[in-house]
Structure 1
Amino acid sequence: MLHEIFDYSFTEIADIIEKSPQNCRQLFHRAKKHVSEKHQRVTVAPEIHRQLTASFVAACQSGDLTTLTELLASDVTAWADGGGKVHAAPYPVSGRELVAKLFITLMSKVPANHQLAIEEVNGAPALISQSGPQLNWILALDISNGHITGLRSILNPTN
């Protein structure tokens, strides 16, 4: 962006990011190639997405580690975003077993006054937690080839 948008030279960029101008030039060309490549977005039928979301919730609530692990892709990653105001995991958690154990633990700590529902968010089913009219968090699942590949928790920073 510094080169393309702000017209910085590779020498100026190298000074800023403490790399060589040649390295900066290579990084620029790789990034430009990556952006220009067409990335095919995987679309999943809403009923399959909803079913996997419901199965995920049931496995978490029952503590069924085996079923939950089978729902997750081997390279699954979980992210959390608290908007800098709510305590959230500072780093992504990756790997089937770690993510499964994390979500079984998290779901066991959901307060009794939270109502869980599967609602459409950004065009796909997601898990919503509410306390009365107050939205607590949203959990959106990325799904590919019949497995959950990503879990994105968005925590309400006003809670």
Structure 2
Amino acid sequence: MSDRTTGPGTDPAPGTDPAPGTDPATETFVAHRNLLFTVAYEMLGSAADAEDVLQETWLRWVAVDLAQVRDQRAYLVRITTRQSLNRLRTMSRRKEAYVGQWLPEPLLTAPDVADDVELAESVSMALMLVLETLSPTERAVFVLREVFDTGYDEIAAAVDKTPAAVRQIAHRARRHVDARRPRRQVSAEETRAVHESFRRVLETGDPRALLEVLAPDVVMVNDGGGIKQAALRPITGAEKVARFLVGVLGKNKAPITVAPTVVNGGPALVVHLDGELDGILAMRVENALVTGLYYVRNPEKLTRAETETPLTLR
């Protein structure tokens, strides 16, 4: 049995140096904690589950003979991946019983995440929703290869496949994702401008003004988790989306406050009704119009709406 008493719950805050006297295993884990969290979150779409995976990773890590580990970072990523795969299979059963649409848990992120284009895209609501359509193994392979640029041999060891099989899975997953992701890169300036226009018209509750910023084929996905009112299926079309937004936000005649924020590396809106947090609204922008809306109202997924979560690819 290990005599270490430190763990993920007692480590110093992410991004800080370990406390004096911590052992090499703790120092290594703390040094890579943000990376491991990002790997787990991108695979799971849930910060709470990602934290559980980190705890499981820690328990396995402290039992490892470090003298036998050639690449400690790769070894930690391998453990995290395996634990995430186990958790993914459990989550798939939970999602089958989930009320309505399931969206990733939104994370308040620091400006440096938004500045890293590759990282921001990889954790965007739009892409993470696409990743939900992959099988657990496909998702793990895609995340490790396309996001973290992990070698095929390392991925093979993490998912218990041959390198040749991993190459095939990676090709299939990439083709699947590319067919569903936005086809045109949008500048940060264009995105912010559209967000600001959308914010203003959302506060007015004018459905005609909403129609001017929504693409004709816009799709809105709502996640209330059975706790808050939310459409049980995606809403398609500008007129239907506008009516839904006006109806949900205006039904109680409560004062609406819509403030800009940065969620999952991109501009988003935090919505308060009568001073109470109602939800986080992320969106996809193309051709100066909103083409996708992702509204998380489930209170259980809003616990990180006010505290920044460090994410990193390195």
The equivalent residue for 2:173 is 35
Deviations along 1:62-116, whole A, 9 cap, x unmatched? 243333212111111111012343332111110111112222223324732x642
The equivalent residue for 1:137 is 279
Aligned length: 131
The verdict on how the C-alpha distance between 1:129 and 1:59 changes in structure 2, with shifts beyond 3 A counting, is: closer
* 8 Å Cα contact 1:63/1:104 also seen in 2: yes
The equivalent residue for 1:148 is 290
Determine the C-alpha separation between the residues in 2 that align with 1:99 and 1:141.
13
1:111 aligned onto 2:254? yes
1:70 aligned onto 2:212? yes
AA at the equivalent of 2:202: C
* 8 Å Cα contact 2:199/2:259 also seen in 1: no
> How much does 1:117 deviate?
0.6
* 8 Å Cα contact 1:61/1:107 also seen in 2: no
Deviations along 1:16-67, whole A, 9 cap, x unmatched? xxxxxxxxxxxxxxx9976342626443223322221221122233243333
Any gaps of 5 or more consecutive residues in structure 2? 1-134, 139-168, 303-314
Q: Secondary structure at the match of 1:125?
A: strand
Any gaps of 5 or more consecutive residues in structure 1? 5-30
TM-score, length-scaled by structure 2: 0.36
Determine the C-alpha separation between the residues in 2 that align with 1:121 and 1:36.
24
Greater share of strand: 1
TM-score, length-scaled by structure 1: 0.65
Greater share of helix: 2
Q: Secondary structure at the match of 2:299?
A: coil
Q: Percent identity?
A: 33
Determine the C-alpha separation between the residues in 2 that align with 1:43 and 1:102.
28
Q: Secondary structure at the match of 2:232?
A: coil
1:127 aligned onto 2:269? yes
The equivalent residue for 1:24 is none
